[in-house]
Amino acid sequence: MTKKVPSIEDLKLIPTSNIPPQTRKGIETDWLELFKSIPKGRALVITRDEGLSPFSAMENLYRYQRKKLLPPDYRAFPHTVDGKLVVYVVHGEVET
């Protein structure tokens, strides 16, 4: 069953001047320098608890690799731990 799209008359419209300014909740992060500082054979643990976005970490890692600013031996492993997203950014091989 498909959901019916509401008509414009049923939705709230406001003047653009009423849109509140955006506030930054995170902290400015130099992701490239942060990734480069991970020693080979180690993993950086990224959670919201440190004020960092796990999604941003993955996006930036892949972006820097596409631009050839980071070699392919950096990898991101997302996991859910206690209901929270945790990203492990690994430099080098993963030991099992």
- Per residue in 25-69, pLDDT (tens digit) is 555 679 999 999 999 999 999 999 888 899 999 999 999 999 999
Report how far residue 87's alpha carbon sits from residue 39's, in angstroms, rounded to the nearest whole number: 17
Helix (H) or strand (E) holding 33: helix 31-36
Angle among Cα 37, 58, 76 to the nearest 5 degrees reads 70
Please say if the pLDDT value at position 24 is more than 70.
no
End-to-end CA distance of the chain: 45
- Three-state DSSP class for 14? coil
Report how far residue 91's alpha carbon sits from residue 64's, in angstroms, rounded to the nearest whole number: 14
- Give the model's pLDDT for residue 14: 83
